[in-house]
Structure 1
Amino acid sequence: MARRYIARLLPKGTVPRVYIFCTLVQAIAFIIAESYTLYLIKMSHQATLKSQWQVPDIQSAVSASVTTYVVYSALFIMAQCYIIFLCGEAVATQNTIQVIVVVLFYFVCLANSVTRYISMFVWPSLAAHMFTRDNNMFLLQVTVVAMYCIALLALVVLSYKLKKDVGWSVFKRLGADISLHRAFMWHQCLVMILKMDVYFVGSYLIQMTALILKADDIETWLQITVFIPFCIVVIVGAFYALAGERRRLMIVVATCLFLSIGYFIFKIARVCDSDILNKPGDPYADSRPFFMITIVVCMLLVIATGAISIMSIHNFGSGLKEAIAYDKLRAKHRKMYATDKTTASDESAQLMDDQGLSPRDRFALD
């Protein structure tokens, strides 16, 4: 019974199953590694508090450094959980664009792991010197970087094979209509990049809230009352406008995205301000390299989201909305009546009438 249930959950085909298996193994390995990193950070902090570093300012800097590395280790664990979700959904929906984006996601994780190694052992801050004599931490960070390189290489190979394996599925779903294929490609691109926005903008907000903002700073309240609600409304609005092909709402979303570029440019200038750079009380002392990566990635995602939103607007009204609705209807019909993909059934006509789809919409996907 259990074997049958597991078999139903697993994707069909050798390549998709190997892809999911490798993703799970890699994610579990990274989660264990990051959990051990958190343990070593805690032990290093305790050892530092008992050492000769009894100067209050140094103790405060050490505590801030520990908080920084704890937050980023937690974000790395969240990234692995999100990658599992993206990979599983990519295989389930046979979304080749999402498969490619997962590789780019892994590359960003690799860049962050290299940055962490550099910030701990190559150019450590005053507080980060507590890790320089920790051989376990050194070996662990080298291992994590090597693991990311191996995982990225394996994911590239599997993604290429998976792309070839499921690449023709879109033709089976959309037929030979080139304009419909083009519209569907931009639709998938926008959905995928919005999913990236959810993680990276969320990661940016977590970093700002946990590491940078202070209760007595006006920027904290602007962040809570303006920027966070703005991000949520724009991302939700983009999903809503795309699903219903609401042209005016999508134009408003694209405009808001392009205007927000100025905010990220301001934040880059703020982080790199010479008045606080490597000065006492620098709020970005240990988080600056990680924070810069996040800001740059968020800004590039915002630009890409705005540009792809405009491309998607041009495809509204091309019949893609009806084609996607029929594709979902047909999948529901097959599951309900247990029909084969090549089997026609009289019930589909009634189901289409119930959903308000005309007969011509059916041919877009046949």
Structure 2
Amino acid sequence: MSLAIFQFFQPMLLASIGVLASVSVMFMVLAYFVYHAFGWEIFKRVGADMKIRRMYVAYRLLVLLLKIDFFAFSGFAVTYIILILKSSDAEFGITIALFPLTLMVLLLAFWGLRRESRVTMWVFIFCLCGSTAYFVFKCARMYDPKQEIKYERQRAMMTYYTIVSLFVVAATLFQSVVCLANFGFGLKERIEMTRGHRSDMEQIQDYYVNAAGDRRMPLEG
């Protein structure tokens, strides 16, 4: 019976593998062009100073990781609530309450990154350390013999979500430290300058106007 079912679904499984492979190749090609376009956008925004460009790339990478953090935690929490917890469990309400709290912390981190607030970033780093401890505790609890019945059928899936969340949190923690070390070296001023937060007299020193009337960063800037 099982062999007949496998033979029935085998063509669809092979087709799905082919579709995924084709889409992956397409994404690789698109990523190549986006990579070059992104490099040009960085040049237009922060100029040709390699130090500023590296700091800006680190800044944008942390912004991306902040978004991924929310989706990673949401995936873990929703799966944990649906598959593991019951409405009568004490963790049920706590896990739901972590949704707005996580969003507030991520928004606070973004604000601190934009404003180069060291105190805010240190608070965020402390929260990331707490998140790491939380996921490590959850992973250890899944393999606790006393909790075997609770996680018996969903252990593999929950372990996967926990490891992914830990990886994302670790990457965010590392990138937060990198961005914190870049504070005070001119990136904030350069970004604000491109957004028009400085006066025209201040911007004259950093821009020239090309034939089309667009402001451009000089190569020596």
**Normalised TM-score (structure 2):** 0.79
Distance in 2, matches of 1:182 and 1:361, equals: 24
Distance in 2, matches of 1:164 and 1:248, equals: 35
Displacement of 1:162: 2.9
Aligned position for 2:5: 133
Displacement of 1:149: 2.8
Distance in 2, matches of 1:166 and 1:133, equals: 48
Q: Identify the match of residue 104 of structure 2 among 225, 233, 245.
A: 233
Aligned position for 2:182: 315
Any gaps of 5 or more consecutive residues in structure 2? 208-215
Aligned position for 1:154: 26
Distance in 1, matches of 2:162 and 2:169, equals: 10
Q: Is the 8 A contact 2:45 2:191 kept in 1?
A: no
Matched, 1:198 2:70: yes
Matched-pair identity in %: 27
Aligned position for 2:168: 301
User: Residues 266 and 321 of structure 1: is their aligned pair in 2 closer, same or farther, counting only changes over 3 Å?
Assistant: same
Q: Is the 8 A contact 2:74 2:99 kept in 1?
A: no
SS in structure 2 at match of 1:214: coil
User: Residues 243 and 141 of structure 1: is their aligned pair in 2 closer, same or farther, counting only changes over 3 Å?
Assistant: farther
Displacement of 1:352: 4.2
Q: Is the 8 A contact 2:70 2:102 kept in 1?
A: no
Matched, 1:185 2:28: no
Distance in 2, matches of 1:139 and 1:274, equals: 41
Matches within 5 A, 1:1-366: 133=5, 139-225=11-97, 227-277=98-148, 282-283=150-151, 285=153, 287-329=154-196, 352-353=198-199, 359=202, 363=206, 366=217
Letter in 2 for 1:264: F
Displacement of 1:261: 0.9
Displacement of 1:283: 4.2
Aligned position for 2:213: none
Q: Is the 8 A contact 1:323 1:361 kept in 2?
A: no
Any gaps of 5 or more consecutive residues in structure 1? 1-128, 330-350
User: Residues 146 and 362 of structure 1: is their aligned pair in 2 closer, same or farther, counting only changes over 3 Å?
Assistant: farther
Q: Is the 8 A contact 2:46 2:191 kept in 1?
A: no
**Structure 1 residues 296-324: Cα deviation after superposition (integer angstroms, max 9, x where no partner):** 11111111111211111122222222222
Aligned length: 208
RMSD over aligned Cα atoms: 2.9
Distance in 2, matches of 1:182 and 1:155, equals: 25
Distance in 1, matches of 2:17 and 2:140, equals: 29
Displacement of 1:263: 1.0
Distance in 1, matches of 2:117 and 2:24, equals: 38
**Structure 1 residues 258-302: Cα deviation after superposition (integer angstroms, max 9, x where no partner):** 12211111111222334554x5xx4451x4333222211111111
Distance in 2, matches of 1:167 and 1:320, equals: 17
Distance in 2, matches of 1:361 and 1:250, equals: 32
User: Residues 284 and 155 of structure 1: is their aligned pair in 2 closer, same or farther, counting only changes over 3 Å?
Assistant: farther
Give the structure, 1 or 2, with the largest relative contact order (CA under 8 Å, sep 6 or more).
Answer: 2
